Amino acid sequence: MHDLTPKEIVLELDKYIIGQREAKKAVAIALRNRYRRKLLPPDLSEEIYPKNIIMIGSTGVGKTEIARRLAKMVRAPFIKVEASKFTEVGYVGRDVDSMIRDLVQTAMRMVRQEKMEEVEEKAAQLAEERLLDYLAPLPSRPGRQLKNPWELFMGQTPARPAEDDDYRSDLQTARQQREIIRTKLARQELEEEIVEIEVEEKNNSFLEIISAAGVEDMGINLQDSLGALIPKNTKKRKTTVQEARRILTNEEANKLIDSDEAHREAIRRVEEDGLVFLDEIDKIAGRDGGHGPDVSRGGVQRDILPIVEGSTVVTKYGPVKTDHILFIAAGAFHVSKPSDLIPELQGRFPIRVELESLKKDDLVRILTEPHNSLLKQYTALLATDRIKLDFTPAAIDYIAEIAYEVNARTENIGARRLYTIMEKVLEDLLFDAPQQESVISIDQSYVAARLDPIIKDEDLSRYIL
What is the 3 state secondary structure string of the chain?
CCCCCHHHHHHHHHCCCCCCHHHHHHHHHHHHHHHHHHCCCHHHHCCCCCCCEEEECCCCCCHHHHHHHHHHHCCCCEEEEEHHHECCCCCCCECCCHHHHHHHHHHHHHHHHHHHHHCHHHHHHHHHHHHHHHHCCCCCCCCCCCCCHHHHHCCCCCCCCCHHHHHHHHHHHHHHHHHHHHHHHHCCCCCCCEEEEEEEECCCCEEEEEECCEEEEEEEEHHHHHHHHCCCEEEEEEEEHHHHHHHHHHHHHHHHCCHHHHHHHHHHHHHHHCEEEEECHHHHCCCCCCCCCCCCHHHHHHHHHHHHHCCEEEECCEEEECCCCEEEEEECCCCCCHHHCCHHHHHCCCEEEECCCCCHHHHHHHHHCCCCCHHHHHHHHHHCCCCEEEECHHHHHHHHHHHHHHHHHCCCCCCHHHHHHHHHHCHHHHHHHHHCCCEEEECHHHHHHHHHHHHHCHHHHHHHC
Q: Does residue 144 have a pLDDT over 60?
A: no
**Residue 320: closest CA among 260, 269, 278:** 269
Cα angle: 409, vertex 414, 419; to 5 degrees: 100
Looking at residue 405, its pLDDT comes to 87
Given a contact cutoff of 8 angstroms between Cβ atoms, the answer to whether 59 and 325 are in contact is: no
Q: Does residue 417 have a pLDDT over 70?
A: yes
Given a contact cutoff of 8 angstroms between Cβ atoms, the answer to whether 263 and 274 are in contact is: no
Whole-number Å distance between alpha carbons of 414 and 59: 6
Q: How far is CA 46 from its chain centroid?
A: 29
Which amino acid makes up residue 286? G
Looking at residue 213, its pLDDT comes to 40
How sure is the predictor about 109, in pLDDT bands with cuts at 50, 70 and 90? very high
Rounded to the nearest 10°, the torsion over CA 358, 359, 365, 366 is: 30
Whole-number Å distance between alpha carbons of 127 and 140: 21
Residue of higher predicted confidence among 315 and 174? 315
Residue of higher predicted confidence among 189 and 266? 266
Looking at residue 225, its pLDDT comes to 52
How sure is the predictor about 206, in pLDDT bands with cuts at 50, 70 and 90? very low
Compute the radius of gyration of the chain from its Cα atoms. 31
CB < 8 Å & 24+ apart, contacts of 254-263: 254/116, 256/119, 256/122, 256/123, 257/112, 257/115, 257/116, 257/119, 259/224, 262/108, 262/111, 262/112, 262/115, 263/108, 263/317, 263/318
Looking at residue 148, its pLDDT comes to 58
Q: Which residues contact residue 25 at a Cβ distance below 8 angstroms, ignoring those fewer than 6 apart?
A: 6, 10
How sure is the predictor about 155, in pLDDT bands with cuts at 50, 70 and 90? low
Looking at residue 205, its pLDDT comes to 47
Looking at residue 207, its pLDDT comes to 47
Q: What number of other Cβ atoms are within 10 A of residue 392's Cβ?
A: 15
Looking at residue 92, its pLDDT comes to 54
Residue of higher predicted confidence among 268 and 209? 268
Report CA torsion sign: 185, 190, 196, 202.
positive
Q: How far is CA 431 from its chain centroid?
A: 31
Q: Does residue 322 have a pLDDT over 90?
A: yes
Cα angle: 83, vertex 86, 90; to 5 degrees: 150
Looking at residue 208, its pLDDT comes to 45
Whole-number Å distance between alpha carbons of 422 and 360: 15
Q: Does residue 212 have a pLDDT over 70?
A: no
**Residue 68: closest CA among 55, 84, 50, 83:** 55
Which amino acid makes up residue 67? A
Fold for the domain defined by 360-464: Helicase, Ruva Protein; domain 3 (1.10.8)
Q: Does residue 141 have a pLDDT over 90?
A: no
Q: Where in the chain are all domains bearing CATH 1.10.8.60? A: 360-464
How sure is the predictor about 321, in pLDDT bands with cuts at 50, 70 and 90? very high
> What does the pLDDT average to over 437-441?
83
Whole-number Å distance between alpha carbons of 333 and 374: 28
How sure is the predictor about 94, in pLDDT bands with cuts at 50, 70 and 90? confident
Strands 206-211 and 275-279, bridge-based pairing: unpaired
How sure is the predictor about 10, in pLDDT bands with cuts at 50, 70 and 90? very high
> What does the pLDDT average to over 204-229?
48
Looking at residue 269, its pLDDT comes to 92
> What does the pLDDT average to over 301-327?
91
> What does the pLDDT average to over 265-270?
93
CATH of 6-114+264-354, one of 1.10.3210.10, 3.40.50.720, 3.40.50.300, 3.40.640.10: 3.40.50.300
pLDDT in tens, 352-411: 999 888 889 999 999 998 988 999 999 999 888 888 889 999 999 999 999 888 888 887
